[in-house]
Structure 1
Amino acid sequence: MTASPTDGLAGRDVLAGEHRLRVYTAGDPGRPAVLLVHGSGPGVSAPSNWGHLLPVLAEDFFCIAPDVLGFGDSEHPDPAPTGGMPAYTTLRAQSLLALLDALGLERAHFVGNSMGGMITLRAVQLAPERVGRIVLMGSGGAPIPPTDDLMRLITFYRDPSVEAMADLLPRFVHDDALFADRLGEIAADRFAKADRADVRRSHLATFDPEVGPVRFTEEELAAIHHEALVIHGREDRMLPVEAGYYLARHLPNAQLHVLPHAGHWVQIEQAARFVAQTRLFLTE
């Protein structure tokens, strides 16, 4: 990693329905719209997930990268929604559809990473006519037990610290040399965001231990006829590649690309391949 993904990236607040979202945009609004939906994790935001890709994708698309509701600098409902991840996933999908309204967009392609993939699938279920093609990268939603690494993410707030963050971050990648000598600096920056009371509240509400995760049945996926690109890192330790196989097997119009030497952060470890495949898929 070199420069911070937030360098030179400015966001603005947009009222999306009943909730305020921090939104980062790039590219010509006259081009096809692509909504980039980041995943979960303590301290995550749209810039940390997509900042380095926005200028590249903006060459072909109007890119919209919001901090998802309950993450980053977007609104954190207080009190947080009850009902755990399923209820919060639906609320987050509704807020993204409301964001399209606020931006005057009838339709957009969705690119969902990890939890963002589940939010994307929920948005398709809620308003299929508002969603164009979908890209699911390292997506959740498959009936697969959580890995030990994912459980470390889920339970981060049992003993939160910069050291715990430095232990967590390398689990997202195949080769932790990606961090070079900046792991401590990156962990400290991300922990500063994760240590906010509103971020903690939203995380704990999302991963309520009394409520199960979001899992899409074979029948639910079979009813989604959107063209779909499923991208998964072969060495993903958070959501194993079997999750990608499950989604690609049951989405009727899905194609699957498994990338070697990549963990959960395909968009960082295999950025050029991710961009090339996404660009080809969304423009074919």
Structure 2
Amino acid sequence: MMFTESHVPVGPDVTLFVARTASAAGTPLLVVHGGPDWDHTYLRDPLYRLANVVLPDLRGCGRSTRDLPPHRYTWDAVVADLLALLDALGIVRTDVLGFSTGGLIAQRLVLTAPHRFRRLVVASSSVLPVPPGPPRDVVPHGLEGAEANRADAVAAAPVEVWRDEARADYLARVAAVRFSGDWWYPWTAGTLPPVRVPDAAARLADLGLPILLLHGRQDMTFPAFLATEAAALNPAARAVILDDAAHAAHIDQPDAWIAALTEFLD
């Protein structure tokens, strides 16, 4: 996989680590990873097949600036970082894909600066609120921060991927992630504000921005029916639901996932 990597300052004391695929004609694609205490690397495959992909680690994540004071971990700060990143890279207008929690951040980003975005992909995430469900397995007692996040990611393998033969790939990607705990601490302390934008479905529909809701049918984190329902509320949105795919649909069904994405972005 061919990526160029760099550190890009986006503020006086915040630098984002960014991986990029080769440049070519056409609109770039900014990718917002989930977690948020993961990094972007688990999304490199199959996105390496596309040109003009920009994959940053968010503040507090991966190889970007970490160990900021807890009050500086807010979703609005992330949005400001990403807009500053586009400015630093000379990108006037882009497509954006948000995965999982990144899908909620991407909605906030688009609603903050709609003129900067051509198309939105909400992948393994949701525009509509997620109804309460059974709790996830609790990580082993005594773990916190990065260790807790890694343990949770490993324990979640049966939920993240649907196909047994894809599980080894998922676990290998988890092993390579540079987990942090910067977001874990304000989240567990109850000081982290909600990432979901109020009335996101109506506000996105008012924008008229083309939206792809790209989902695995067996996703147990963000149920697939939410993608179908959100698409029905917005004439500019469409849902693509992939069979035999769970939350990590890009790992379960990489060819179908990248084909749906490519068709939408063309």
* TM-score, structure 2 as length reference: 0.84
Superposed displacement of residue 141, structure 1 = 4.4
**1:213, 1:28 → 2: CA distance?**
31
Partner of 1:166: 154
SS of 1:248's equivalent? helix
Superposed displacement of residue 204, structure 1 = 2.7
| Residue 84 of structure 2 is aligned to residue 94 of structure 1 | no
Partner of 1:4: none
Structure 1 portions without partners, runs of 5+: 1-6
Partner of 1:55: 48
Q: Deviations over 1:197-223 (max 9, x none)?
A: xx2122332465355452542433332
Partner of 1:243: 226
| Residue 109 of structure 2 is aligned to residue 119 of structure 1 | no
**2:197, 2:110 → 1: CA distance?**
15
**1:181, 1:138 → 2: CA distance?**
18
Superposed displacement of residue 140, structure 1 = 3.6
| Residue 61 of structure 2 is aligned to residue 71 of structure 1 | yes
**2:188, 2:230 → 1: CA distance?**
22
How has the CA–CA distance of structure 1 residues 250 and 90 changed in structure 2, closer, same or farther, with 3 Å as cutoff?
farther
Q: Is 1:133–1:228's contact at 8 Å kept on the other side of the alignment?
A: yes
Partner of 2:33: 38
Q: Is 2:2–2:21's contact at 8 Å kept on the other side of the alignment?
A: no
Superposed displacement of residue 248, structure 1 = 1.9
Q: Deviations over 1:114-147 (max 9, x none)?
A: 1111111111111111011111111144222354
How has the CA–CA distance of structure 1 residues 152 and 68 changed in structure 2, closer, same or farther, with 3 Å as cutoff?
farther
Q: Is 1:39–1:116's contact at 8 Å kept on the other side of the alignment?
A: yes
Q: Is 1:113–1:138's contact at 8 Å kept on the other side of the alignment?
A: yes
**2:33, 2:149 → 1: CA distance?**
23
Q: Aligned to 1:214, which of 192, 196, 201?
A: 196
Superposed displacement of residue 71, structure 1 = 1.7
1:244-259 to structure 2, matched below 5 A, reads 244-259=227-242
1:177-256 to structure 2, matched below 5 A, reads 177-180=165-168, 183=171, 188-190=175-177, 193-194=178-179, 199-206=180-187, 208-209=189-190, 211-217=193-199, 218-256=201-239
How has the CA–CA distance of structure 1 residues 205 and 16 changed in structure 2, closer, same or farther, with 3 Å as cutoff?
same
Superposed displacement of residue 152, structure 1 = 5.0
Worse overlay, 260-269 or 242-251? 242-251
Structure 2 portions without partners, runs of 5+: none
How has the CA–CA distance of structure 1 residues 126 and 41 changed in structure 2, closer, same or farther, with 3 Å as cutoff?
closer
Superposed displacement of residue 89, structure 1 = 2.1
| Residue 147 of structure 2 is aligned to residue 157 of structure 1 | no
Q: Deviations over 1:77-135 (max 9, x none)?
A: 510236x7xxx222212211111100011010001111111111111111111011111
**1:225, 1:152 → 2: CA distance?**
40
Partner of 1:11: 5
Worse overlay, 200-209 or 33-42? 200-209
Partner of 2:17: 22
**1:151, 1:175 → 2: CA distance?**
20
Q: Deviations over 1:144-163 (max 9, x none)?
A: 2354465758x983883866
Instruction: Give the count of matched residue pairs.
Output: 260
* TM-score, structure 1 as length reference: 0.79
How has the CA–CA distance of structure 1 residues 77 and 252 changed in structure 2, closer, same or farther, with 3 Å as cutoff?
farther
SS of 2:66's equivalent? coil
**1:182, 1:110 → 2: CA distance?**
23
Q: Is 1:136–1:229's contact at 8 Å kept on the other side of the alignment?
A: yes
Superposed displacement of residue 76, structure 1 = 2.7
Q: Is 1:54–1:63's contact at 8 Å kept on the other side of the alignment?
A: yes
